[in-house]
């Protein structure tokens, strides 16, 4: 009976720790296709899929669409077998219906892993990847969809390429289209660049390029505001982008007051103004009073700082034997053979006897130390105990019935 109880308890605990592990290691190229609606037309689409894992995979393809038009996808096969490291082409047909509402309609081909091959395979809850089919249905007359593009992170002195992807989703030609792009910094106009003038046939798209020279500009976060003029209409598009330089800034320190005769921890907040990651960033710290250094300088550990990111460097100030009072903390940041310095006013105070607030429960138990993890463990233990008692009582009743017989 004891062995059976142990087995029962283990079976209760197994589902709590059984977390499915699956690596989404199927890559596809290209990731999408765009089709213009033509009633009754058939399109053949092919993409490549590669199993980059060292294990074989069975894949099932399931078309889904919020527009409810997934049945226009005709698959050559729903199920595919991928040996480890293999690659193969997946081909399907798109058969356009007689009519669709104007606008764009998306169909996702979900590539789902199955445990075994064939129709009886159980689908995993994890989808590997989606292939997107976008169907554009033209609007009556002239209709423009525009997207403003540019690199997000840029370096000072570079020429930044902007482009407007303009698509005519109308049934008529857009005869004239061009754009001006205002470059804004803190709501102030810095520059204006212009695209060429062109036309766009129905169900066609054009790229309208423009270029921004950043040689005389400041580093910072900018906004590009595009005004797209087309046949008497105006469409506006905005985009945020950054212009950076190999520059870092010391933003702040986490504390300004430190206790005497103690090792005090603080963090130094720094910011990367460069459009690339800067490795091996560290700080040297020294304490000054009335212009004289009163504590030997020390270096922090080095950390990498991602592009246009804020990072925190830990530091430890040893105030052993120091007098209470006001001091200047000089911090020098070292990065890529460059330095930047900043001074903060700090104070050192004598530590007072520690007063412990009343947070204890009966028998000195610290109720604030209880966390959700402790609560979860207690609930789990209670569930296991209840199930064990139920099992024992059921077994006892069964044994009593056996004795009566």
74-103 pLDDT, tens digit each: 999 999 999 999 999 999 999 999 999 999
Q: Is the pLDDT of residue 358 over 60?
A: no
Residue 19 placed within a domain: no
Distance CA 300, CA 332 (A): 11
- CATH assignment of the domain containing 317: 2.60.40.10
What pLDDT digit, counting tens, does each position of 190-231 carry?
999 999 999 999 999 999 999 999 999 999 999 999 999 999
More confident residue, 127 or 374: 374
Residue 193 placed within a domain: yes
Task: Determine the Cα angle at 9 with ends 5 and 10, to 5°.
Answer: 115
> Which of 211, 244, 277 is the C-terminal boundary of a domain?
244
Q: Is the pLDDT of residue 370 over 70?
A: no
Domain residues for 177? 144-244
42-51, strands of its sheet edge to edge: 26-29, 42-51, 87-95, 73-75
Residues 238, 255 within the same domain: no
Are 162 and 147 within 8 A, CB to CB? no
Q: What's the confidence (pLDDT) of residue 53?
A: 86
Q: What's the confidence (pLDDT) of residue 384?
A: 77
- What lies within 8 Å, CB to CB, of 122 at 6+ separation is 114, 115, 116
- The pLDDT mean for the chain works out to 86
> Which of 102, 137, 172 is the C-terminal boundary of a domain?
137
Residue 53 placed within a domain: yes
Residues 275, 309 within the same domain: yes
Q: Is the pLDDT of residue 119 over 50?
A: no
What pLDDT digit, counting tens, does each position of 329-350 carry?
999 999 999 999 999 999 999 9
Residue 129 placed within a domain: yes
Give the least confident one: 279-288, 332-341, 351-360, 383-392. 351-360
Distance CA 208, CA 168 (A): 13
> Which of 226, 244, 262 is the C-terminal boundary of a domain?
244
Q: What's the confidence (pLDDT) of residue 394?
A: 73
Alpha helices (runs of H) in 66-159, residue ranges in sequence order: none
Q: What's the confidence (pLDDT) of residue 71?
A: 96
What's this model's pTM, rounded to 2 decimal places? 0.61
Q: Is the pLDDT of residue 28 over 70?
A: yes
Are 253 and 266 within 8 A, CB to CB? yes
Residues 229, 254 within the same domain: no
């Amino acid at each position: 009976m004891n062995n059976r109880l142990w087995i029962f308890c283990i079976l209760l605990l197994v589902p709590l720790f059984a977390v499915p592990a699956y690596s989404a290691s199927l890559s596809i190229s290209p990731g999408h296709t765009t089709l213009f609606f033509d009633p009754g037309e058939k399109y053949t689409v092919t993409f490549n899929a590669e199993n980059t894992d060292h294990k074989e995979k069975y894949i099932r393809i399931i078309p889904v669409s919020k527009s409810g038009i997934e049945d226009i996808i005709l698959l050559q096969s729903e199920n595919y077998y991928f040996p480890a490291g293999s690659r193969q082409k997946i081909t399907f047909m798109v058969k356009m219906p007689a009519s669709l509402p104007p606008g764009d309609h998306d169909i996702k081909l979900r590539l789902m892993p199955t445990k075994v091959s064939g129709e009886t395979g159980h689908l995993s809850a994890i989808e590997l990847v989606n292939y997107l089919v976008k169907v554009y249905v033209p609007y009556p007359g002239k209709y423009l969809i525009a997207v403003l593009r540019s690199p997000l992170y840029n370096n000072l002195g570079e020429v930044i390429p902007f482009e407007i992807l303009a698509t005519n989703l109308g049934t008529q030609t857009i005869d004239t289209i061009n754009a001006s792009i205002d470059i804004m910094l803190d709501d102030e106009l810095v520059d204006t660049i212009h695209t060429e003038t062109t036309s766009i046939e129905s169900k066609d798209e054009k790229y309208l390029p423009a270029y921004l020279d950043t040689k005389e500009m400041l580093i910072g976060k900018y906004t590009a505001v595009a005004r797209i003029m087309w046949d008497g209409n105006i469409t506006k598009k905005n985009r945020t982008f950054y212009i950076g330089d190999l520059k870092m800034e010391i933003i702040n320190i986490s504390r300004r007051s430190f206790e005497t005769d103690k090792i005090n921890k603080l963090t130094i907040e720094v910011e990367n103004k460069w459009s690339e990651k800067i490795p091996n960033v560290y700080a040297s710290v020294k304490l000054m009073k009335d212009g004289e250094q009163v504590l030997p300088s020390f270096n922090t550990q080095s950390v990498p700082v991602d592009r246009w990111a804020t990072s925190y460097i830990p530091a430890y100030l040893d105030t052993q034997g120091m007098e209470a009072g006001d001091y200047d903390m000089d911090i020098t940041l070292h990065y890529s053979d460059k330095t930047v310095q900043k001074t903060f006013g700090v104070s050192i105070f004598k530590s007072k006897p520690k007063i412990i607030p009343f947070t204890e429960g009966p028998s000195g138990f610290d109720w604030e130390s209880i966390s959700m993890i402790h609560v979860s463990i207690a609930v789990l233990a209670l569930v296991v105990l209840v199930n064990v008692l139920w099992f024992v009582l059921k077994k006892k009743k069964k044994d009593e019935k056996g004795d009566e017989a």
